[in-house]
Amino acid sequence: MKILNVEANFWAALGLEKILISAGYQFLSCSSLSDAKKILIDQSIEVMIIELKTEADDIESSYAFLRLLQALYPCIRVLVLTDINDAALLNFLAHEFHSVLFLTKKSSLASIVQNVNTLAEKRPHTSTRSRVPSLSLQEFHMLKWLARYSSQQDIALRVRLNNKTISHYKRSIYAKLNCENNVQFHHRLTQYGFNRTHVD
């Protein structure tokens, strides 16, 4: 059984490699989704472990990658193992990708190995969603625009929504992510891999 791990943190990747090799798995590692795409062309991979944010990838590019993986490699089983622990965001992704397992890196080593075994054996897994309200698809896609532009008018020009609708999405996102102010919100966006650098 060959596992591909996408993880930018060298020590996290090395630790996981040692654990899973000792459990009898073949293990490959890379630090970005673009590297993973190249490996998938050349290697037969049964299980992938993916961090939602790397040095080169934000959460929206990870979402697009999971969509691509679902379409081109439906037989690959996926475990998302992430530092991100916002339930509203993880619930959204779990709803979008029913076959993907989601764990935070705070999970125990025993739990991580158990879930990899579940995927390797193609056993059905239990839902990882909680009862916390989920982001909607529109709110998820709004994250990148709120990260790129401080002005709602700038956002409105690009997404063809009026200021009132953008304000509604923003208030809803703040509530679901438990953000009390702009500082907390932009800290979250940074955690998701977004920043204000962009090309118009």
Q: What CATH number is given to the structural domain containing 147?
A: 1.10.10
Last residue of a domain, one of 120, 147, 174: 120
Q: What share of the chain is helix, strand, coil (3-state, %, to 5)?
A: 50, 10, 35
Q: How would you write the pLDDT of the chain (200 residues) with one tens digit per residue?
A: 899 999 998 999 999 999 999 999 999 999 999 999 999 999 999 999 999 988 888 999 999 999 999 999 999 999 999 999 999 999 999 999 988 999 999 999 899 999 999 898 877 666 555 677 899 999 999 999 999 888 888 999 899 899 999 999 999 999 999 999 999 999 999 999 987 554 44
132 is a domain residue: no
- Chain centroid to CA 28: how far? 19
129 is a domain residue: no
32 is a domain residue: yes
Residues 6+ apart with CB under 8 A from 70: 97, 99
Domain that residue 89 falls in: 2-120
**Domain co-membership, 177 together with 78:** no
Last residue of a domain, one of 86, 120, 154: 120
The total domain count for the chain is 2
100 is a domain residue: yes
